[in-house]
Amino acid sequence: MKRLLAQTLMEDPRVMEAKQLLLAALTDVKNEMKGVQAPSGELKESYANWIARANQSRGGNIWYPFLGSGVGNGALVELADGSVKYDFISGIGVHYYGHSHDEMLDCGVDAALADTIQQGHLQQNTDSVELMEELVALAQKNGGDMAHCFLSTSGAMANENALKMMFQKNAPATRMLSFYKCFSGRTLALAQLTDKAAYRVGLPNAMAVDYIPFYDAERPQESTAEALGALREHLARFPGQYAGMCMELIQGEGGYNIGSEAFFKALIEVLIEHGVAVWIDEVQTFGRLSEPFAFQYFGLDGLVDVVTIGKMSQICATLFTDAYRAKPGLLSQTFTSSGQAIKAGLHTVRGLAQGDLLVKNMRMNAVWTERMEKIDHVSGGYGLGAMFAMTVGDGSIELAKKFSSRLFENGVITFIAGSGPTRIRCLPPIAAIEEADVHAVCDIIEATVKEVMS
């Protein structure tokens, strides 16, 4: 069989030696990063200037005064002010392998040697095909009937593609269903789907959306009955007008609210009866439970029409059954994504398929939950798998912002989610941490709670 020149390049001894030298240099730097470190006084003025320039360039202030130097060590990341912090939000779930991971370096070098920076509509390499095939196989592992996978640059684009598939398949339907407190993105269409009025200020109405109450674990039967009642009411009011329903099985932005198998199956039964597509938005949940997909965790295999993933997968995707295969011309992108994102995504998917990372998701959550239960003025832990959350004090938005800001100053990066209560949430880089890292972060959280609540 003919040997490709690309194979010759990747196996060249000089390339292998270069990788070893880069890894050695990276390891030396990482070994200098042992834990949280305060900012350098010498860099204070220049860092403040960097922050001001960032705010001016983007036309608004960044959430935290965070600008990285470009190097880290697992959950630890160095900022351009010389400080080192624990990153327990990982770019809102993107950096599952943390910072400066050896395996990501290897993927990056391979991508740098590839012929193009981006892959796209007219030019995709074989690793894109491998990634699509392995995502479909992962989605089918428990009997699911996902048949196809379309890659995209962002979770929002994956969701946009999902919407187009459902509207085309179920035309002339023009409406969508979703849950209260859902988050799907900030594009023109997704801002309508997302249940947050602030994201729609000044925007035209792109589509009609009706909302269903989410599951309440403290009132399982009652909340399920309420959701079913609302769903049937909408379907009766607008018969034949719903293309699909978007379901976050664990609400991320909504505050890490968790549904149940019985709840989702009850709703899906009604949706199927009325010919409404079942769309599972897994841009945040993918790869963070004991199963690769949340729909698998909740036993919904065979009941789902469209699934979207993103964040920790590096490259995002829309998976769908054969019935929702798009007609020519509906889906296309100049950029699928960068070669580095594709190679990193393929490595991540293969890691999930082996199963060890999925076990680790749940084990780290157990450590987090046990620690949270022992901290005064904290309720939680909430969340599931590699999605951690807690509520400080009364759960007010003011207290949550104050606490997360102080926690950032003390060396741990988190984010907020939900309302009534507003929670502190974490999406830790599970592939790069151990239990000692979770304990170290919890120690800082406990000390910060005492500061803020004193």
The DSSP secondary structure of 261-281, one letter per residue, reads HHHHHHHHHHHHHTT-EEEEE
Decide: residue 438, CB within 10 A, 0-12 exposed, 13-18 middle, 19+ buried: buried
- C-alpha distances (whole Å) from 50 to each of 44, 46, 82, 171, 424 are 10, 6, 13, 50, 27
DSSP of 303-331, one letter per residue?
S-SEEEE-GGGSSEEEEE-GGGPPPTTS-
How high is the pLDDT of residue 240? 97
Tell me the per-residue pLDDT of 406-452, one tens digit each, with 9 for 90 and over. 999 999 999 999 999 999 999 999 999 999 999 999 999 999 999 99
Report, as an integer, the average pLDDT of 19-45.
97
Average model confidence (pLDDT) across the chain: 97
Phi and psi at residue 407, in whole multiples of 5°? Answer: -65, -40
Q: What pairs with residue 447 in β-bridges?
A: none
The pLDDT, as a whole number, for residue 114 is 95
- Does residue 191 have a pLDDT over 90? yes
The confidence score (pLDDT) of residue 302 equals 96
The band of 176, judged by pLDDT with boundaries at 50, 70 and 90, is very high
Question: Cα-flanking dihedrals φ and ψ of residue 365, to 5°?
Answer: -65, -40
Q: What is this structure's pTM?
A: 0.96
Predicted local distance difference test score (pLDDT) of residue 435: 97
Query: Residue 128: which residues within 8 A CB-CB, separation 6 or more?
Result: 119, 151, 336, 342
Q: What is the mean pLDDT of residues 322-346?
A: 95
**What are the φ/ψ torsions at residue 153 (nearest 5 degrees)?**
-80, -25
Once rounded to an integer, what is the mean pLDDT over residues 51-73? 97
Angstrom CA distances, 118 to 127, 142, 199, 329, stand at 12, 33, 30, 21
pLDDT (0 to 100) of residue 1? 82
* Average pLDDT of the residues in 297-324: 97
Separation between Cα atoms, residue 25 and residue 300, nearest integer Å = 46
The β-bridge partners of 150 are 318
Q: Is the pLDDT of residue 121 over 90?
A: no
pLDDT for res 107: 97
Nearest to 365 by CA among 391, 385, 390: 385
Token pair in block for residue 38: 């305060």
Angle, alpha carbons 135-139-140 (nearest 5°): 120
CB within 8 Å of 449: residues ≥ 6 apart: 375, 376, 377, 378, 392, 403
Name the pLDDT band for 14 (thresholds 50, 70, 90): very high
**421: cis peptide before it, omega within 30°?**
yes
346: pLDDT confidence band, cut at 50, 70 and 90?
very high
Partners of residue 209 on adjacent β-strands: 176
Mean pLDDT across 385-393 = 97
pLDDT in tens, 198-228: 999 999 999 999 999 999 999 999 999 999 9
Distance between CA atoms of residues 220 and 384, nearest Å: 18
Q: Does 401 have pLDDT greater than 90?
A: yes
